Amino acid sequence: MPSKQFMAWVTDGKMINPSRPTKNKRAFRLRSKLLVVSLALLVIPWAGYEYLREMEAFLKQSKQITLAQSAQTIATVMHNRRNLFEPTADISFSLDDQSNVYARKLNQAIQLDGYTDDWVKHLDHARQYAAESLIQGNSPYDPTSLSFQHLFGKYRKYFYTLLIVKDDQIVYRKPNSLKLNKSDHLLIALQDPQGNKQRYILSTQAPGWVNAYLLPNEPNNFTPVRPEVRIKGEWQETTEGYNLELRIPQSMLGNKISFTVADVDDPELRATKYLLSTASSQSSNELGSILTPSPDIEKILKGLNRSNSRIWVINKNRHVLALTGSLSENTTTLAETSTSLIGSILEPIYRLLLQQPSQQIDDNLDGVSRLDGQDVVSALKGKPAINWRRTSDQQAVILSASHPVWDNGEIIGAVVVEQTNNDIQTLQNNALKNLMNVTIIVFLAATLFLIIFATRLSSRIRQLHKQTEAVISSDGRVQGDIVASQSSDELGDLSRSFADMMTRLQEYTRYLETMASKLSHELRTPLAVVRSSLDNLELEDLPESAKPYTQRASQGIGRLSNILTSINEATRLEQALQSSDSEEFNLVKLVSGCVDGYQLAYPEQKFNFVTDHELISLSGYPDRIAQMLDKLITNAMDFSKEDKPIEISLSHERNLITLAVNNFGPSLPQTMQSQLFDSMVSLREGKQASTHLGLGLFIVRLIAEFHHGTATAENRSDNQGVVFYIRLPLQN
């Protein structure tokens, strides 16, 4: 029989090993641990992101250096060429002079219709004229009565101008009236190419086409000399006043001009209320200089081939002399269409998360006549500068580099080179996309590899676990072998150690199982010799003092015989069960007959048998069932109180038969309820008349399990005794 330390405890037919921790459904499995370890791969994108940040700073620094060198190169080309910055000696340049008119470079001819559609690009930079331009007023100036915005541009052989006039009361010229100054009108004073000053007036009887008339050079003489058909215009009313759009041939102009808007509000008196002039002077006959982009500078800039930048050239008064290039030309995307599956899937997400370079740059400096900014001020003071700024639409960042232009130690202008950061942003986005794509691929591959590895590893562990569980039977017997792994790793070593341990354990268990029969065989002959000697000795005439000793020896021999009989009974029981023939019998009749026999055998002990059935058919071995009941009754009588009956009940519910033996007596310790049916376990205390090896209830368990049932013991609900339950399945 297997010894106690190799037995597994059985409760309700389930094997429980107290040295093994129970399974936790929320246990942190090996695969979960490896998955957590794989999260360490996330340090790759973090390190890559930090690297990209450093790369961005490096690219910005490189861009600043490159752009500063470009500005210096362009400025160097223009050093000591004062004629490019001051082409005409009689043009007055003053930083605060509002009388100068800047002729913007137009990309196409203006359609004379009185609307602002052709001037949309320049409207934000139109010059506003109000109180500071007042040269005549019959009453305190009211800005709601008269103000205007002015734009002036050049396209090929013509100058175009737009006046957006806010006038609360429009007074048109009377039909057929020759008094052109008795209505709202426009005065133009200019210097022709020969240096002569000319005056013109425009007034109209109604919105539409407007005619110009030449006036005498006398300031207060408004009698027209003749019509000037070369000056063409369109007068268009608006909700706030009117627009006046004009075209003047370049051949009529020298380098000076002024525009004066006259406001007449009283249609009866027709007196001029206000005069606002671009000349900012006390006379409408004063002229302002015409500032035009320098074609010579533009040729130089085009020859330098800086198409990916916007280049400004300004004079020392910040007037724009040349502008070439466009910021939009630098917005050509460098984005690559990913050919990988991961990149194609994640491309929409990248577009949402990453700021994309703007293809259309809305810059509020485009079209200005004067350039301001810290970098410009610094360059005009002789110090090159770098400046970062955002566009007005906040869609891009512009880098500008300025450098002064010198002439014999004097600053005559500056060069400003601008570029957007779209190329840096695009390169950074592409690098970040590639980094994320590679990271995701590596992460997925590593995670898949770790999961496969963990699955393989856990599969080997589970296989070893199953083999270890299967090699020990529910009653603690060693059955089967553990197949030793041929792997050279630690799990292989563990498997081989388990296999070797189970082999030695199986040999030792087999030795223990056969020990009883060996001892029984070896002891019977000496016992027989001793018993026969004692029997012969009793026939001899012994003194009275020696007889007690022979009696004690006979009792000892009897107990040894009983021990050997019990050991043989437990050892050979399973073999006997296997060799017996199963038969169908009435369990109620069998138990009832046994109870009647117990009552006759033990008249001093009362037995009660309770059942609701007359017939319960069971297929099995009636002799062994009776033997099992004998062991339960014997155990109950050893612990039962003399004045209390032993109750035997038999019930049948569904497919389960329950045989219960209830006795009044001491309760079972909680720690022993699951061990009670193990071999060599006994709770009897004190001296007993007979020897108990703890095999009775073990035999009960063997017989119950052989009939596919279970044997359990529980304390009564009132803790006044113990109830033994034998549950047997009903076999149809």
Task: Dump pLDDT digits (tens) for 451-488.
Answer: 888 788 888 888 888 888 888 776 667 777 788 888 78
Task: Dump pLDDT digits (tens) for 585-606.
Answer: 888 898 888 888 888 888 888 8
Task: Dump pLDDT digits (tens) for 87-138.
Answer: 654 555 444 456 788 888 888 999 999 999 999 888 888 888 988 788 887 7
Reply yes or no on whether the pLDDT at 500 is more than 60: yes
The residues, ordered by sequence, that sit 6+ positions from 172 with a Cβ below 8 Å of its Cβ are: 183, 184, 203, 204, 205, 206
176 residue type, one letter: N
* 146-155 vs 617-620, strand pairing mode: unpaired
Reply yes or no on whether the pLDDT at 732 is more than 60: no
Q: What is the pLDDT of residue 49?
A: 72
Q: What is the pLDDT of residue 415?
A: 92
Average pLDDT, the chain: 79
DSSP secondary structure of 280-339: -SSSTT--EEEE---HHHHHHHHHHT-TTSEEEEEETT-BEEEEE--GGGG----PPPP-
Task: Dump pLDDT digits (tens) for 231-256.
Answer: 999 999 999 999 999 999 999 998 88
pLDDT confidence of 280, banded at 50, 70, 90?
A: low
Reply yes or no on whether the pLDDT at 670 is more than 80: no
Which of 22 and 157 is assigned the larger pLDDT? 157
Chosen CATH of 101-293 out of 3.90.920.20, 3.40.50.280, 3.90.25.10, 2.60.40.1190: 2.60.40.1190
Q: What is the pLDDT of residue 307?
A: 61
Yes or no: say if 657 and 680 are a contact pair by the CB < 8 Å rule.
Answer: no
Find, among 79, 82, 60, the residue nearest to 71 by Cα.
79
Which of 119 and 446 is assigned the larger pLDDT? 119
Q: What is the pLDDT of residue 575?
A: 60
Q: What is the dihedral of CA 407, 408, 410, 414, to 10 degrees?
A: 20
Find, among 290, 291, 299, 255, the residue nearest to 78 by Cα.
299
In sequence order, what are the beta bridge partners of 609? Answer: 648
Domains 481-578 and 580-729 fall in the same CATH topology: no
The residues, ordered by sequence, that sit 6+ positions from 389 with a Cβ below 8 Å of its Cβ are: 373, 397, 398, 400
Domain ranges of the chain: 73-87+296-429, 101-293, 481-578, 580-729
Q: What is the pLDDT of residue 433?
A: 77
Which of 644 and 52 is assigned the larger pLDDT? 644
Among 358-367, 401-410, 694-703, which range has the highest average pLDDT?
401-410
Task: Dump pLDDT digits (tens) for 168-222.
Answer: 999 999 988 888 899 999 999 999 999 899 999 999 999 999 989 999 988 888 8
pTM of the predicted model, to two decimals? 0.53
Find, among 129, 303, 164, the residue nearest to 241 by Cα.
164
What is the fold of 73-87+296-429? Answer: Beta-Lactamase (3.30.450)
Architecture of the CATH domain 481-578 = Orthogonal Bundle (1.10)
For domain 580-729, the CATH superfamily is Histidine kinase-like ATPase, C-terminal domain (3.30.565.10)
How far apart (Å, rounded) are the C-alpha atoms in residues 369 and 366? 9
